Amino acid sequence: MNLKTILMAVMANVIVLSTTLVSSSIAHASGDHADEQEEHHEEEKGPNNGRLLTQGEFSLELVLFERGVAPEFRVYANFKHEQVAPQAVDLSIRLTRLGNVVDTISFSPQSDHLKGDAVIYEPHSFVVDVQARFKGKQYEWHFETFEGRTEISNAMALNMGVTTLRVGPQTLRQTLPVYGKLVLAPNSERHISARYPGEVKALNVQLGQSVKQGQHLLTIESNDSLQSYKVFAPISGMVSMQNIALGEQTGSANLLTISNSQTLIAELNVYPLDQDKIKPAAKVLIRPSNSTEQISTEITDALMAVNAQQAKVYRAKVSNVDGKLSVGQFIKADITVNTFTVDKAVKTSALQSFRDFTVAYEKVGEQYEVRMLTLGRKAGEWVEVLSGIKTGSEYVTGNSYLIKADIDKAGAAHDH
């Protein structure tokens, strides 16, 4: 068993233990005298399937109602097993969420229940403090109901490779994926021929050899004057074609070709439906085939005619000073078609599923909890966040699936 497997096993035991401890709902009630307190280790249910809070002959049924409306609390009161008019009860509830975020809820009487004045937003994970007054007597309950939450020590998270970032503004780039190939840049090739036809007396280069501008390439003896003259390299580059050998007659044919590949051109195929998206000088990120390297450049121009596949060919310069790229090499590229800044964004690596929601995991201290996100536009590794997590919140980006696995194993129930 390797170190990572051992760490994962230890982590699972720690998480199951910690989640078991924090997810046990402990309810207790207190009246005017401390000795009247009683604890409920198992949640009792009322006739409306809500949590039943009882002290003596007085009880409240706390229902999280969300059928056809945004989630809200509805409370039904009973005394001596008889329903109490909601006007007879003064009630308030305080919810303390992760990070000591407190929501205070006031209640108003309805036909047969008390209705809370605030939306109980997701996740429904909090410490609950209930205060009620009935017939001049004060009642209090305190219990915990957690979901989508787990606890991992910072040392364990570090060993697991869990990494985090802060939610904040981000500039997003929407891109168009395209394919193409690398070709020589214009004016980067020279063809060498004999000014005066004759016999090759000296040949100082060969196919594939690098040469510098002004370098002596060959010596030719003119057939007419029998005088010898030298031919020099007009540019620096590589001998990419050789069509002559020592002692041969030159005639009027091309003898050598020198090609300079320090700058190449990426020819990118853009099909008709996408051609209107391409803007002048658009940024391009090129990925050569069989390489993990990424090269940043921009569109310089486009060819006049479409190719055989009816694609318009857009061109971008690519530096090849190190000689790692080759003429004819296939490439993939992403052309930027839109750039915009959003107030909040998270990395797509942070996203996981929880019930019917897309979530990220906020980190507070050594605790992690789901945040239900409403998402907007996506661009590359980033996605806009419209709601669900606050700017500045620390959230999990790397190995977020491990947090999901721990929460799923804990199996915290959703309180309806």
Average pLDDT over residues 243-269: 96
Measure the N-to-C terminal CA separation of the chain; round to a whole number of Å.
42
Range 215-234 average pLDDT: 97
Peptide bond into 288 cis (omega under 30): no
| Domain extents in the chain | 3-148, 151-174+340-410, 175-184+262-335, 189-259
Strands 137-145 and 89-97: unpaired
Q: CB–CB of 399/349 below 8 Å?
A: no
Q: Which tokens go with 58?
A: 């007085």
> How large is the average pLDDT for residues 55-71?
95
Pairing of strands 51-55, 58-65: antiparallel
Q: How confident is the model at residue 42 (pLDDT cuts 50, 70, 90)?
A: low
pLDDT in tens, 160-180: 999 999 999 999 999 999 999
Residues 6+ apart with CB under 8 A from 361: 350, 352, 368, 369, 370, 371, 395, 396, 400, 403, 404
Q: How far apart are CA 116 and CA 71, in angstroms?
A: 10
Question: How far apart are the C-alpha atoms of 263 and 84, rounded to whole Å?
Answer: 85
User: CB count, 10 Å around CB of 302?
Assistant: 17
pLDDT tens figures, 202-212? 999 999 999 99
- DSSP alpha helices (H): ranges in 67-168? 154-160
Instruction: Round to whole Å and give the CA distance between 383 and 346.
Output: 6
Question: Which CATH number applies to 151-174+340-410?
Answer: 2.40.420.20
Token digits for 114?
Answer: 């008390």
Q: Which residues contact 47 (CB under 8 A, 6 or more apart)?
A: 61, 76
Same fold across 3-148 and 189-259: no
CA angle 383/389/392 to nearest 5° reads 90
pLDDT at 357 over 90: yes
What is the per-residue pLDDT for 26? 31
What average pLDDT does this structure show over 20-42? 39
CATH class, domain 175-184+262-335, is mainly beta
What's the pLDDT at 416? 44
**pLDDT for res 103:** 97
- Closest by alpha carbon to 190, among 230, 234, 252, 232? 234
Share of the chain above pLDDT 90, in %: 85
Residue identified by tokens 């009973």 is: 78
Q: Tell me, what's the pLDDT at 411?
A: 66
Give me the pLDDT at residue 234, please.
96
Whether the predicted pLDDT of 407 surpasses 60: yes
DSSP-assigned letters across all residues of 166-212: E-EEEEEEEEEEEEEEEEEPTT-EEEEE-SS-EEEEEE---TT-EE-
Domain 3-148 is in which class?
Answer: mainly beta
Judged by average pLDDT, the poorest of 8-22, 144-158, 326-340 is 8-22
Q: pTM score, two decimals?
A: 0.70
pLDDT of residue 16: 40
Spatial separation of the C-alpha atoms in residues 388 and 345, rounded to whole Å: 11
CATH number of the domain located at residue range(s) 189-259 in this protein = 2.40.50.100
Written as one letter, the residue type at 337 is V
Q: At what angle do helices 400-410 and 3-23 cross, to 10 degrees?
A: 50
Q: Is the pLDDT of residue 125 over 50?
A: yes
pLDDT of residue 101: 94
348-354: average pLDDT? 97
Q: What is the pLDDT of residues 266-302, one digit of tens each?
A: 999 999 999 999 999 999 999 998 778 899 999 999 9
Give the mean pLDDT of the chain: 89
Integer Cα distance of 146 and 144 in angstroms: 6
Spatial distance between the Cα atoms of 289 and 328, rounded to a whole number of angstroms: 11
